[in-house]
Structure 1
Amino acid sequence: MDAVTRIAKTCGSFDEVWSQDGRLSIIYHDEHSYALSFNGRNWSVLDDADEKTSAYLICSAAINYAVERCKNSGLSLEFVHEFLPTERKALMPAELLRVLLDDCGLGIFDACAIVVRCFGNDSAAPEIPWLHGVQPRTANLQAVLRDALKSFGFAVHDAYDEAYRSPPGAVENGSEVKLSIRSFGGVKSAKLCVYADGYSAEYDMQRDGDCFSCNFVPEKPAALWYRFRLCTEGGERRLCVGNDGHFSVLSDTPADGFRLTVYKRGFTTPEWFAGRIMYQIFPDRFGFEDASAGIEYHRALGQTPELHGSISEPVRWQARSFEKDYAPDDFYGGRLRGITKKLPYLKELGVEVIYLNPVFEARSNHRYDTSDYGKIDPILGDEQDYVNLCAEAARLGIGIINDGVFSHTGADSIYFNRYGSYPTLGAYQSTQSQFYPWYDFRHFPDDYRCWWNFRDLPEVNEQNESWQDYIIRSEDSIVRRWLRLGASGWRIDVADELPDEVLSLIRDAAKAEKSDSVIIGEVWEDAVTKNSYGKMRNYALGYSLDSVMNYPFRSAVIDFALGKKTAFELRDFLLGQYHNYPQPMYRCLMNLLGSHDVERLHTALAFDYDVKTLDRSQQAALTLTDEQKLRATRLQRLCAAIQYCVPGVPCLYYGDEECLDGGRDPFNRKPFEPSKTGLHNFYVQLGRIRSLSPALTDGEMRIITPSADIIIILRQTADEEIACVINRSSDYYNIPFNGTPLLGGCDAKLVPPMSVEICKLT
């Protein structure tokens, strides 16, 4: 980058001038101006100045430049700490206070709060006597700052710092957690306040000088929050969490607390799954073969499936002439044998896990309306085709994850049989049906509980013993049988609809059949704090799930790429998950950027508006200009690099490697025949880099944010350190460390605008 030059000033004296409305103005006398230059890392004084004056000028320039950059980034001054140099000098706190008070017009409390956020426990630095001869106003503010921090009762707690919380992160129940705060002399006593859903408790904190500590032992797994109640010289205060999720803010009233996740002691997740690359396949739209026999099978049942003549035909999204509503029963002929043939292609992408959308017999092409859990849909093949797929995948080191749609069945099924398609006596047909107790009828037979009022998806009563035996508990249950036939785990559809105890039964049954099987929940929010139907769920506490679909990750990464979030906000999100999820689950989080339920990644990145707000006719007509395609492809590279360089399981939705476009269902489910175009080679490269790097698959994570547009993800083991540099800005970025480029996309350590580089540090 080009050198930055600025002017900094010293003064001989100053006057305080108070206006009639109580505003303070500072008038400086005998000012001297000096030119300084910044080379991207260090400031230097260009004019003649003695050592002490130079020390002040360099600090003053750094403070003023940080404030300037903060404002230019469109951020409030609360974020100025993001722009300060890593090395903090002792005279910086008072100089920042001067700038905030005199130049920015802040009040003393707000200015002190920003100083504390910038310098933490070092805010009340020892007085520097020589400063009076260089900048008497800043020298005067040294004492003002110390007195204000004390009188207001400021204190510091950082949930990510072991000096304040040991150990940091989520803990097993029964573990001791030491929580500490440090004050600036104005706190007389302190209490730790712990609370959760339906629970609260307070604990006295022990004082040691200006440090207050409490050893807390959470006995039961729970999503907890905590804050501190302070008795200060100015009255009672609360120390709560700031917007970044870990650093404290002082408040007069109770505000949001710090998070503390307590999970079940001994909770583990499958080691084979953690850190692996996953590929999601919508079975009808991948691996095409002749599916006409399966189509005829469904027609013989009285159903109306339609087989496309070519995969180049658009997906059907409108009702046919004989239909009142659109029915998703158009097929392209994707089959299990076709997927088996594509395994070498997936292996080239570095894939070690395949998540299949439902494969069991159903009326629709998405198959979330299960007709028979015990049978592969004939359009896809048969049971032997499934066994062969699992066996060949296992030979290549790939595990197969089934989609378990257990909260509801199809109305057109052997269990409900609303249309009489099957020879079994269904619940809809008779109260004497063996399946009748599975469902909740308000008025038999037409008024029954169904998923989100879709009458073709009657909900089951998961507490029913015969349903639990059939799906979960018996030796030949659905959960166990398909694991026995070769599956490596289950993705649980709409996990919110299944009670915690039922999810636990599924996990226990799966582990009993195959100890290293993985259970993934469809959860759209933070799994630790998820509340559904008025109840806190225990998804992440070690009872029911090994992993969840990480939709919040998708939102955060795409928002960063589109400029809706800063690098600082993305960092705070990533570190929040890192610290708040139990590590066994965190290492297995399904980090997706696309799926069958959201618009295609490439499409989401192409527009400045939210595609899902368009109706189906508008989405059907949606096309991308060449400029939009170029922008989306460049942004997708940034998103994919983040996805492959953070801990967890990166999940690639079929076709995203070639920038497949499409809005919401059904346009995100187009047929895909690989042609190794688009970003295919880039994803192959990412997969190879990740698979060969212990640091990327299982290393610790640190994050550096040089600016609002640049984020650096560092992954480290004892033997290796990898840096992923994401440059969203319109300028070149100079990589600040030595290393070997692995992507090969930068020249002379410069990362171009809207680009990424992954380096192995040396």
Structure 2
Amino acid sequence: MNKRHFLTHLALAAAGAATAGTGGTALAATPVKQRANAYDAALAGAFEAREKDWRNGAVVYQVLVDRFAPSATLDAKRYLYPAPKVLRAWDELPRAGKYLPDAKLWSHEIDFWGGDLRSLMGRLDHVQQLGADVLYLNPIHLAYTNHKYDALDYQVVSPEYGTREDVKALAQDLHGRGMKLVLDGVFNHMGRNALVFKQAEGSAQNPYRSWFVFGPQYEGGARTWALAQNLPELNLENPAVRDHLYAKPNSVVRSYLRDGIDGWRLDVAFDIGPEFLAELTRAAHQEKPGSLVVGEIANYPKEWFPAVDGVLGFTLRQIILRTVNGQIDAPAAARMLDRMVSETGIEPMLKSWVYLGNHDTSRLATAIPDERQRRLAQVLQFTLPGSPNLYYGDELGMLGGEDPEMRAPMRWDLATADNAALDWTRRLVKLHRGERALRVGNFRLLESQRLLAFERFTDRARDAVLVITNPSLQDVTDTVLIPDSKIMDGTRLVDQLGTWTGEPLRVQAALLQVTLPPGGTLVLKPDVSPPGGYTNYKRVQ
């Protein structure tokens, strides 16, 4: 039974309990108002509980530490980038390099720009003023490459970035701003240069031998992630490995949580598997109740919970992108979204990250060069159930293609008051954070033949947010059914984005007729207290 059905069942059961022993069925004997109040009470409790959980609907800002802010102490740490590593100037752009067979990686993986945790802390005002609730960092543990997905030692912060004390200071600073800190956990594999792997590779009798999987069937002699020779996979079936990663009190997952971080984003979580993910999540929650575990799971999200709290929304991202570029029409997109939310459950959906671009994809402005389509995609990102995940620089309209181009240094010269992309992003963040229904509300489709339309709603009529979009290339006039029994006939709907220039929109017997241009988007709220002193919402919450 999903959450929506459970709450309905709970409400009806509560209403029925009040009429026990009346001789008739509970539903028939219970007054309509009593049933409605019981239903509302059950829903109200659910939304209030969600509001107390920071993980629901949080706005997440993602940062590559090496590329976010220039270090003030760069000259003093140049020795940390010995050849063949290269330290680039901040205004240089990443370019694809050549394969280095001895190192078993590409040369652009060891190009650096010198950012660190201290320089990041100096730019937190930008992240906070954008409206982010959570700062998420790509891996910061000791590793050879710039991306740090090839861990050498999880318990040590890469010296180019700083120390564990810097992590504690960053967490404390963020908490003082009312924000949270999430780190990237790369626990499926380590780096070939890790001392434990070198020892294991050198001797079959070494105690670390069983931490990895060796055999002649593997190129290079060991099982590696996605055949990347620099990334030998950990043998998670070995209890000692799990003890080191998350099971023991001094483990990686638990010790960083004690340092002050608030959660983990797990790299290639689908490879870790549900059983070990569930163990890791339980360990994190035991160490720090209310901490967040988000899995990078490209699969359909159904059935990956409660092994993780949320997922990185690969499926949702593809639905959004393919809808705005015309590969999926509005009715099909509506069916896909409705099915995914229904089968996944609203609770894990709210904790899942809704992203349009990150360190593995082309930047948003490059992936969707048409501004109309891009803005439509962003509206969906901030209004569909979940936690919007912003990749540093996308709010500024930074460009960047495939790896490594999307990992360019932050363009601070673009962070100006007249930057239209930044202004639009701030408006969407403010909208999302300011609307209870967008942060913690349920989801249901609005009936439409040609438009993609849905509602985010709570137990209160005044919270309802109606989202109506036209992803097609033609003007569309359609009649939309609003299946919300609390929205009164004649209610004026107020545009929240300031994009509507037509006649005032009003609900007529739960129907709304609207004409939208290509890429047109409406985010509407009911006006429950019109001027003049009279409201027909006086007895409807």
Q: TM-score range by the shorter chain?
A: 0.7 to 0.9
- Partner-residue secondary structure (3-state), 1:668: helix
Cα distance, 1:584 vs structure 2: 2.3
Structure 1 CA distance for aligned equivalents of residues 446 and 239 of structure 2? 53
| Residues 507 and 637 of structure 1, relative CA distance in 2, 3 Å threshold | same
Q: Does 1:731 align with 2:475?
A: yes
Q: 1:387 aligns with which of 159, 168, 173?
A: 168
- Partner-residue secondary structure (3-state), 1:333: coil
Cα displacement string for residues 113-168 of structure 1 (whole angstroms, at most 9, x for unaligned residues): xxxxxxxxxxxxxxxxxxxxxxxxxxxxxxxxxxxxxxxxxxxxxxxxxxxxx878
Q: Does 1:671 align with 2:409?
A: yes
Q: Point out the structure with the larger strand share.
A: 1
Q: 1:315 aligns with which of 94, 105, 114?
A: 94
Per the normalisation by structure 1, the TM-score is 0.56
Residue of structure 2 in register with 1:640 after alignment: 378
- Partner-residue secondary structure (3-state), 1:689: helix
Letter in structure 2 aligned against 1:693? E
Structure 2 CA distance for aligned equivalents of residues 360 and 593 of structure 1? 26
Structure 2 CA distance for aligned equivalents of residues 739 and 334 of structure 1? 47
Q: 2:80 aligns with which of 297, 305, 312?
A: 297
Structure 2 CA distance for aligned equivalents of residues 565 and 446 of structure 1? 43
Q: Does 1:741 align with 2:476?
A: no
Cα distance, 1:694 vs structure 2: 0.9
Residue of structure 2 in register with 1:400 after alignment: 181
- Partner-residue secondary structure (3-state), 1:635: helix
Cα distance, 1:708 vs structure 2: 2.7
Residue of structure 1 in register with 2:247 after alignment: 473
Structure 2 CA distance for aligned equivalents of residues 667 and 637 of structure 1? 22
Letter in structure 1 aligned against 2:314? Y
- Partner-residue secondary structure (3-state), 1:338: helix
Q: 2:346 aligns with which of 547, 563, 583?
A: 583
| Residues 634 and 330 of structure 1, relative CA distance in 2, 3 Å threshold | same
Q: Name the Cα RMSD after superposition.
A: 3.0
Residue of structure 2 in register with 1:161 after alignment: none
Cα distance, 1:704 vs structure 2: 2.5
Preserved CA contact (<8 Å) 2:466 2:525: yes
Preserved CA contact (<8 Å) 2:333 2:452: no
Cα distance, 1:683 vs structure 2: 1.0
- Partner-residue secondary structure (3-state), 2:215: strand
| Residues 566 and 459 of structure 1, relative CA distance in 2, 3 Å threshold | same
Residue of structure 1 in register with 2:430 after alignment: 688
Residue of structure 2 in register with 1:429 after alignment: 202
Q: Point out the structure with the larger helix share.
A: 2
Residue of structure 1 in register with 2:129 after alignment: 348
- Determine which structure has more spread, i.e. the larger CA radius of gyration: 1
Structure 1 CA distance for aligned equivalents of residues 180 and 326 of structure 2? 36
Q: 1:282 aligns with which of 61, 64, 67?
A: 64
Cα displacement string for residues 235-276 of structure 1 (whole angstroms, at most 9, x for unaligned residues): xxxxxxxxxxxxxxxxxxxxxxxxxxxxxxxxx998211111
Q: How many residues align?
A: 458
| Residues 504 and 701 of structure 1, relative CA distance in 2, 3 Å threshold | closer
Preserved CA contact (<8 Å) 2:57 2:387: yes
- Partner-residue secondary structure (3-state), 1:416: helix
Cα distance, 1:484 vs structure 2: 0.7
| Residues 691 and 756 of structure 1, relative CA distance in 2, 3 Å threshold | same
The structure showing larger relative contact order (alpha-carbon pairs under 8 Å, at least 6 residues apart) is: 2
Structure 1 CA distance for aligned equivalents of residues 100 and 200 of structure 2? 30
Structure 1 CA distance for aligned equivalents of residues 117 and 248 of structure 2? 27
| Residues 321 and 566 of structure 1, relative CA distance in 2, 3 Å threshold | closer
| Residues 527 and 445 of structure 1, relative CA distance in 2, 3 Å threshold | closer
Cα displacement string for residues 580-615 of structure 1 (whole angstroms, at most 9, x for unaligned residues): 013321221211111222222222223xxxxxxxxx
Within 5 Å, give how 1:190-201 maps onto structure 2.
none
Cα displacement string for residues 653-676 of structure 1 (whole angstroms, at most 9, x for unaligned residues): 222212222222212211113423
Q: Does 1:333 align with 2:117?
A: no
Q: Does 1:755 align with 2:520?
A: yes
Letter in structure 2 aligned against 1:312? D
Uncovered stretches (5+) of structure 2, i.e. residues with no partner: 11-49, 481-490, 504-514, 528-541
Within 5 Å, give how 1:468-617 maps onto structure 2.
468-528=242-302, 538-540=303-305, 542=306, 544-606=307-369
- Partner-residue secondary structure (3-state), 2:347: helix
Preserved CA contact (<8 Å) 2:346 2:385: no
| Residues 568 and 436 of structure 1, relative CA distance in 2, 3 Å threshold | same
Letter in structure 2 aligned against 1:304? P
Structure 2 CA distance for aligned equivalents of residues 584 and 563 of structure 1? 30
Cα distance, 1:712 vs structure 2: 4.7
| Residues 408 and 724 of structure 1, relative CA distance in 2, 3 Å threshold | same
Cα displacement string for residues 554-584 of structure 1 (whole angstroms, at most 9, x for unaligned residues): 1111111111111111111211122101332
Q: 2:395 aligns with which of 647, 657, 673?
A: 657
Cα displacement string for residues 522-581 of structure 1 (whole angstroms, at most 9, x for unaligned residues): 1102122xxxxxxxxx522x2x21111111111111111111111111111211122101
Letter in structure 2 aligned against 1:376? V
| Same amino acid, percent of matched pairs | 27
Letter in structure 2 aligned against 1:284? D
| Residues 363 and 603 of structure 1, relative CA distance in 2, 3 Å threshold | same
| Residues 558 and 505 of structure 1, relative CA distance in 2, 3 Å threshold | same
Cα distance, 1:415 vs structure 2: 1.8
Cα displacement string for residues 408-457 of structure 1 (whole angstroms, at most 9, x for unaligned residues): 1001113213xxxxxxxx22233343322201221599511111222211
Cα displacement string for residues 364-388 of structure 1 (whole angstroms, at most 9, x for unaligned residues): 1111100110111111122222111
Structure 1 CA distance for aligned equivalents of residues 6 and 184 of structure 2? 30
Cα displacement string for residues 596-650 of structure 1 (whole angstroms, at most 9, x for unaligned residues): 22222222223xxxxxxxxxxxxxxxxxxxxxxxx2x221111111111112111
| Residues 582 and 758 of structure 1, relative CA distance in 2, 3 Å threshold | closer
| Residues 678 and 665 of structure 1, relative CA distance in 2, 3 Å threshold | farther
Per the normalisation by structure 2, the TM-score is 0.78
Residue of structure 1 in register with 2:43 after alignment: none
747-756 vs 346-355, which deviates more?
A: 747-756
Letter in structure 2 aligned against 1:336? L
Within 5 Å, give how 1:116-515 maps onto structure 2.
271-289=53-71, 290-299=73-82, 304-309=84-89, 311-319=90-98, 326-327=106-107, 328-417=109-198, 426-442=199-215, 446-515=220-289
Preserved CA contact (<8 Å) 1:701 1:713: yes
Preserved CA contact (<8 Å) 2:138 2:184: yes
